[in-house]
Amino acid sequence: MKLQQYSDQDLVKLYLDGEESVLEELLRRHKSKIYTSIYLLVKDQYLAEDIFQDAFIKVINTLRSGRYNEEGKFLPWVMRIAHNLVIDYFRKEKRAPIITSADGTDVLNLLQIHEESAEERMLREQTHVDLRAMIHLLPEEQKEVLIMRHYADLSFKDIADLTDVSINTALGRMRYALSNLRKMMKVKEVTTRNS
């Protein structure tokens, strides 16, 4: 059978029906785009290969367990898995994203670098924890653009290409993400003051 003629959805169905060889075609078809999107985020060939392999292991495990239900959206689903693995990697590495405010100030480095007291260090660390928690509350598209821009330092053009949206959409998502973070920070500030 000529696998190139089948859609991703058909190949997934064949795989689920026990035709293991079709996985190779899915891999061949999408490896370049998935690997490139990972590499652009981590900027390390070996790390990108590791994350790519982890992504496909997760894909295989999900397919085998019968939990796959992204009908007709195989590539975006795999890309989401890969991006989540990249985000997990950055989280494990404890690389804090650089979030800039409207005036260009790094929100995470608002405190001056100096010999800080234990109290100041605890406050700074809590601020980082709070900000990461707030980032997780953002809608998925906003969180994705924010992380790609600030964790991976990607241009808005690269982000637009990777997420299959226009540059204006990517910019809009970033604007909404920062706006939402500011609102959450104000709510936290008011809540903290009133408690």
| Domain boundaries for CATH 1.10.10.10 within the chain | 118-194
Nearest C-alpha neighbor of 27 from the set 61, 52, 64, 62: 52
The pLDDT assigned to 137 comes to 84
**32 CB-contact burial (10 Å; exposed 0-12 / middle 13-18 / buried 19+):** exposed
The pLDDT assigned to 88 comes to 81
Query: Residue 29 CB: number of other CB atoms within 10 A?
Result: 17
Residues 6+ apart with CB under 8 A from 134: 181, 184, 185, 188
Handedness of CA 106, 121, 180, 165 (dihedral sign): positive
The pLDDT assigned to 107 comes to 47
Do the Cβ atoms of 74 and 34 come closer than 8 Å? Answer: no
In CATH, what class is 1-95?
Answer: mainly alpha
End-to-end CA distance of the chain: 68
Long-range contacts of 14-22 (CB under 8 A, 24+ apart): 15/63, 16/63, 16/66, 16/68
The pLDDT assigned to 86 comes to 85
| Domain boundaries for CATH 1.10.1740.10 within the chain | 1-95
Do the Cβ atoms of 117 and 136 come closer than 8 Å? Answer: no
pTM of the model: 0.52
Residues 6+ apart with CB under 8 A from 70: 76, 77
Low-confidence residues of the chain: pLDDT under 70 = 1, 70-72, 94-118, 120-121, 123-128, 151-153, 192, 195
Of the CATH numbers 1.10.3720.10, 1.10.10.10, 1.10.1200.10, 1.10.8.60, which one belongs to the domain with range 118-194?
1.10.10.10
pLDDT tens digit string along 153-173? 678 887 888 788 898 998 999
By three-state DSSP, how is residue 93 classified? coil
